[in-house]
Structure 1
Amino acid sequence: MAGFARAIVEHPLARVLRRRPQGELALALAVCVAGGAAGVAMVAFVNAAIGGVHETVALAAGFCAAALVAVAARIASGMMFARLGEGALLDVRTQMARRILAAPYRRIEALGAARVQSVIADDAGKIAEFLVAAPHIVMNAVMVAGCLLYLAWLSWTSFILALLVTLAGSAIFHLGNLRALNDLDAAGKAQDELFGHLEGLFLGAKELKLNEGRAGAFLERSLAASVEDVRRLRLRGLRVYVLASSVAMALVYGLVGALTFATGEAAAGSTIVFLYLMMPLDSLLATLPHMQQARVSMERIDRVLADAGDAEPVAGPGRPSFRRLSLKGVGHRYFREAEDGVFTLGPIDLDLAPGEVVMLIGGNGSGKTTLAKVLTGLYPPEGGRIEIDGEPVGDDDRSRQRALFSAVFSDFHLFPTIDGLDLRDDGEPDETLDERANALIARLRLASKVSVENGRLSTRALSQGQRKRLALVIAYLEDRPIYVFDEWAADQDPEFRDVFYRTLLPELRARGKAVLAISHDDRYFHLADRCVKLENGAVVEIVAPARESCGA
């Protein structure tokens, strides 16, 4: 039992529970201990009544009191641990969301949505299941320990035999546990792949619908194979626990037989104690697999948090502003799978100033989007430096750089609300946010499709071009000094494409905004103040607007 108690204290989930209010946790544990002690008292009263040592009425009263305490403790501890468990689950999920949001963008890309979703949904769920069962585990452990102590008081011979059986059972479980943990951890990794396939089931629905053969192969080979891997690995791990617990119970059965048929005076009392002990012991052994699954889940969560890296510093309050943003000899490298090699961006020298529209042009794969991510502070430069008003930007104040930008990237995401945009310069809520949002929506001819009420979008079920217009509304509401548009007009019809280049960009310029527009629309290049052309990650041309086409 000492080993089991140490395992509880050292269990990763104990760390989660320790984050909850300590008074509440201490009370819940005390109630569990009281319930377990009451269970031991019940068997003591029964044993004494069978032995005829005391008056039956007093023993019956004691038994009833112990039974009431045990039932009350079970109810109270169950409710308290349910509260603690849900609170701990909330802490885990909130901590993960905060750490991932605070992680460097490259780390977020490397983690991938499937792995994080797997951990937050399935692994966090296993933790919740275990915490709901925690009071039963504690009470059963107390009852087992109490019965062993009571057995020592009845007969040292029986206690020594029971201790040997306990040690043998612990050793068997430990050996099985080492094997099972490896299988459960492998099942968790297989589940990450499964969540990736489930994500593809939705994101690739168009392609799968258009090709039944491909859809069938995806279901049978990819999705079904991942499901089978998870099932096989989990089942193999759980089988080890079933075998280990069964062997442990077989040892207990053997001990009951030995106490009944091969010992002396205390045999009857010891046998009764062990017959009573079998129920909490069996329940305890049955919960051990769930306890270890929860441990594996917590360790997987810890690995995700570790892979997320240290949180980046956050910019202080205040409205961002700038006079000049400069890239000086900036370079960045990353692995490009299509070429099975490293792509190098830069060194690049580039300046942005308020009231200026710059178009970034070049062929596919020339590094335009990567440059935009470096410019906005999503990727840190691996060479050169970025300056804001002549002051270099370091890793500790990268968020100050990001705070200057509103961006609509080609792979943008629309959130269901516009929360976080409802504060005025003085920090007070802006009660006109819905009105301003709906006015912009109407201007972009989306009023018949979507509206904003209490900061929430009525729908996101729009075409790609309409979604981009809605993303532009959000960017306007952010009202940052610099705007980045990554091929925004690519999904617009000719009318809105013309509105974007001839109306919206000039308006932003007139409002003193700096604009970097990644574009292939050479018919509009002459509307920019400058065109910056990239080829293979290098700036090959910076053209003034006097020429009709920057690409000429």
Structure 2
Amino acid sequence: MNVSLLIDFIKKESRDNSYKNILAMTLISGLSNALLLAVINYSTSKIVHGDFNYKFILIFILIFLIFIITKNRALKLTAVLVETIVFRVRERIVKYLMNTELLEFETLGRAEIYTRLTKDTNEISNSATSIANGVQAGVLVFFAIIYLGFINITAFVITIIMLGLAISNYFFSSNKIQKEIGEAVTLETVYFEKINEVTGGFKEIKIHQQKKFDLFLGRIQVIAKKLKDKKIITSSKMSFYFVFAQAFFYILLGTMVFVIPVLDQAVLTDVAKITATILFIIMPLGDAVGTFEVLNKATVAVNNLTNLEKRLKENTFGVLEDPELGGIFENFEKLKFNDLHFGYRDKSGKDQFSIGPINFEVKRGEIIFIIGGNGSGKSTLVKLLTGLYMPDAGEILVDEVDVIHENIQEYRELFSVIFSDFFLFSEMYGIKNLENSKVLKLLKQMQLSEKTGFKDGAFTNTNLSTGQRKRLAMISVILENKNVLVFDEWAADQDPEFRKYFYNELIYDFQKLGKTIIAITHDDHYFNKADKIYKMDYGTFREYKSDH
């Protein structure tokens, strides 16, 4: 069990060295607990010989109070430290995530990120009390064994040997099982991915019995069974190792009572003290050993979070703390795309689907239509043109200024996009000085004023049809007031009346405001509304001449 990874993680994240205070409280708590044992044994011996003294009660109460206060303090400080660490790690990972390149995000997958930020951080959070109790129990056992040495050296040596064997065996077993815990975590991530397919594609599986059958029996049930079996194996092994370790303790107790007196007659007078000491440490030993399982899970969680944070950090550009960008491209006159190429690759680096070369230019205020069949690469092109994907080759120029990593965010800020798989946020983020009256006017313009309202920076109802939700997204686009507006099949989900409004009025209203329009569309009846039309055909790109 690589506990050093967890210890280094806590030291690194404990910026104010509060872990030292926790260690101090834990040491005092464990020592005071051991002293309680010594006071009880000593007092019992005196009482048996008729030498009772009230000062024993006072000493007992004093040590007891120290134990209670320091243990409570240790638990409280541990909870504060661990929750603060979890907060910092979540905050950093989310910051890195929000600055990670889209391609890396898509490669990671939602389930991986969700599992790390929820389950793994919860494993660390839930370990706080167990770790504090386990460490305190370990300190108690340490001092209790030292106390045992003062009682009888033979009992002390045998205890050290047997406990050393038991703990070594448990650590050796724990090292072997850590890999299986990691495999179980991986299976859980895959399981969550499949559950996400159920929730995301619920309508589709409701109307397709075979799809439902394949997803449940062919995937979810198989993965769930593997996960169940892996967890049963892991838990069974951990239980066996735990019981085996506890068995050592009872063997130790039996040795003290039945074997040592035979080997050393001088021990007979101390058997009661030795037995009381061993009984006193059995439960704390169980707590200390039980902590190893928690440490195993917490260590796996720390390893997963560390790897995720490292991966995100390596693929992060820009800083979240800098919302006010320079706007160096705000007054552009022309966007030029020269010999752009982009391709997807699998995990082994093998080329998959690619697009290019892309050669065209867009002047400010133009209306550009891009057409093409399903799978032709239109959505990939949108991500490339808007800077969400960096080209593998070629260049993007804004008025002859090359778009590179250092200014990519300024370039992205030119665009407002409604993707085909758009996401509608719960609130109007990123829009300053938002006036309710303006939003209500836009709701009326989009014929949604009877469907939803606007209050406290959010729409009061988003449980609408896809076309209506796209109109809410259009309101956000209008309020964002960006220079280049990109619509990926926006009109496809609108009724004929609103589709006509989009092509005959709305895009021209945008044009009058100096906006540039890039629209992915299949609506050939409206091709005459565009200044230029381009066609994607299985990754190739060319200008299209319309007969309309």
- TM-score using structure 1 length: 0.90
Query: Counterpart amino acid of 2:440?
Result: N
d(CA) in 2 for partners of 1:279, 1:523: 80
Q: CA deviation at 1:413?
A: 0.5
Partner amino acid for 1:156? I
Q: 2:63 aligns with which of 55, 62, 66?
A: 66
- Cα deviation for residue 451 of structure 1 reads 2.1
Letter in 2 for 1:527: K
Structure 1 residue 473: Cα displacement? 1.0
- Name structure 2 gaps, 5 residues minimum: none
Q: Residues 259-302 of structure 1, C-alpha deviation per residue, up to 9 Å, x if partnerless?
A: 23314335443332222111110111122212211211222222
- Asked whether 1:446 is paired with 2:448, we answer yes
Taking a change above 3 Å as real, the CA distance of residues 151 and 22 of structure 1, as seen in their structure-2 partners, is farther
Distance between the aligned counterparts of 1:274 and 1:113, measured in 2? 51
Aligned to 1:425: none
Q: In angstroms, what is the RMSD of aligned CA positions?
A: 2.4
Give the secondary structure class of the aligned counterpart of 2:54.
helix
**Letter of the 1:412 counterpart:** F
SS in 2 for 1:361: strand
**For residue 278 of structure 1, what is the aligned residue in structure 2?**
282
- Distance (whole Å) between structure 2 residues aligned to residue 306 and residue 313 of structure 1: 16
Q: How far did residue 368 of structure 1 move? A: 1.6
2:131/2:294 contact within 8 Å kept:
no
Q: How far apart, CA to CA, are the structure 2 residues paired with 1:74 and 1:452?
A: 52
Moved more, 374-383 or 203-212: 203-212
C-alpha displacement of 1:354: 1.6
Map of 2:148 onto structure 1: 151
Structure 2 match to 1:224: 221
Cross-structure match for 1:306: 310
1:386 is matched with 396
- Residue matched to 2:435: 433
Q: Report the residue type matching 1:403 in the other structure.
A: E
In structure 1, what residue type is equivalent to 2:470?
K
- Structure 1 counterpart of 2:93: 96
The answer for the alignment partner of 1:119 in structure 2 is 116
Matches within 5 A, 1:71-82: 71-82=68-79
In the other structure, the counterpart of 2:541 is 539
Mapping of residues 318-397 of structure 1, within 5 Å: 318-319=326-327, 321=330, 322-335=332-345, 342-397=352-407
- Which whole-Å CA distance do the structure 1 matches of 2:152 and 2:393 have between them? 77
Residue 28 (structure 2) aligns with: 34
Residue type of the partner of 2:317?
E
- The equivalent of 2:292 in structure 1 is 288
Q: Aligned AA for 2:505?
A: T
Q: Which residue of 1 aligns with 2:523?
A: 521
Pick one of 391, 406, 413 that aligns with 1:403. 413
Aligned partners of 1:457, 1:295: CA distance in 2, in Å? 43
Q: Could you tell me which amino acid in structure 2 is paired with residue 33 of structure 1?
A: L
What is the match of residue 317 of structure 1? 325
Query: Aligned residue for 1:468?
Result: 470
AA partner of residue 35 (structure 2): A
- The DSSP-based 3-state class of the residue aligned with 1:448 is coil
Letter aligned with residue 390 of structure 1:
E
CA offsets per residue over residues 23-68 of structure 1, 9 Å max, x none? 5443333322222121111001012123329854222221121122
Structure 1 residues 344 and 223 mapped into 2: Cα distance closer, same or farther (>3 Å)?
closer
Distance 1:434 1:143 in 2: 64
What is the TM-score normalised by the length of structure 2? 0.90
Q: Identify which of 66, 82, 85 aligns with 1:85.
A: 82
Distance 2:116 2:416 in 1: 31
Amino acid at match of 1:384: G
- Deviation string 1:360-408 (CA, Å, 9 cap, x unpaired) is 1222222221111111111110001112221212223321221111100
**Quick check: 293-302 or 10-19, which moved more?**
10-19
In the other structure, the counterpart of 1:459 is 461
SS at match of 2:291: helix
SS in 1 for 2:416: strand
**CA distance in structure 2 between the aligned counterparts of 1:32 and 1:138, rounded to whole angstroms:** 7
Whether the 8 Å CA contact 1:313–1:397 is kept in 2: the answer is no
Partner secondary structure for residue 374 of structure 2: coil
Contact 1:336 1:343 (8 Å CA) reproduced? no
Q: How much has 1:500 moved relative to structure 2?
A: 0.9
| 1:334 partner SS | strand
Give the Cα–Cα distance (whole angstroms) in 1 for the partners of residues 29 and 543 of structure 2.
Answer: 79
Q: Does 1:106 align with 2:114?
A: no
Q: Which residue of 2 aligns with 1:47?
A: 41
Check whether the contact 1:358–1:517 (CA below 8 A) recurs between aligned residues: yes
- Aligned 8 A contact 2:414 2:483 in 1: yes
CA contact (8 A) 1:324 1:353 kept: yes
CA distance in 2, matches of 1:78, 1:401: 50
Distance 2:535 2:5 in 1: 57
Unaligned runs of 5+ in 1: 423-429
For 1:197, the equivalent position in structure 2 comes to 194
Structure 1 contact 111–304 (Cα < 8 Å) conserved: no
Residue 188 (str. 1) matches residue 193 (str. 2): no
Structure 2 residue matching 1:312: 3-state secondary structure: coil
What are the Cα deviations for residues 496-528 of structure 1, in whole angstroms up to 9, with x where unaligned?
111111111111111111111111111111111
Letter in 1 for 2:42: A
SS of match in other structure, 2:367: strand
Distance 1:355 1:166 in 2: 80
> What is the identity, as a one-letter code, of the residue corresponding to 2:382?
A
How far 1:153 moved relative to its partner? Answer: 3.3
Bigger mean CA deviation after superposition, 93-102 or 463-472: 93-102
Q: What count of residue pairs does the alignment treat as equivalent? A: 530
- CA deviations 1:407-452 (Å, max 9, x no partner) are 0010110111112212xxxxxxx1x433322221221011111222
Q: Are the structure 2 counterparts of residues 208 and 348 from structure 1 closer, same or farther at C-alpha, using a change threshold of 3 Å? A: closer
Structure 1 residue 132 and structure 2 residue 126: aligned?
A: no
Partner-residue secondary structure (3-state), 1:22: coil
Give yes or no for contact 1:533–1:542 (8 Å, CA) kept in 2: yes
Paired with 1:109 and 1:187, the residues of 2 have a C-alpha distance of 23
Question: Which moved further from structure 2: 366-375 or 296-305?
Answer: 296-305
Q: Residues of 2 paired with 1:283 and 1:311: CA distance? A: 42
Q: Deviations 1:218-240 (Å, cap 9, x if unpaired)?
A: 43443233222222212211222
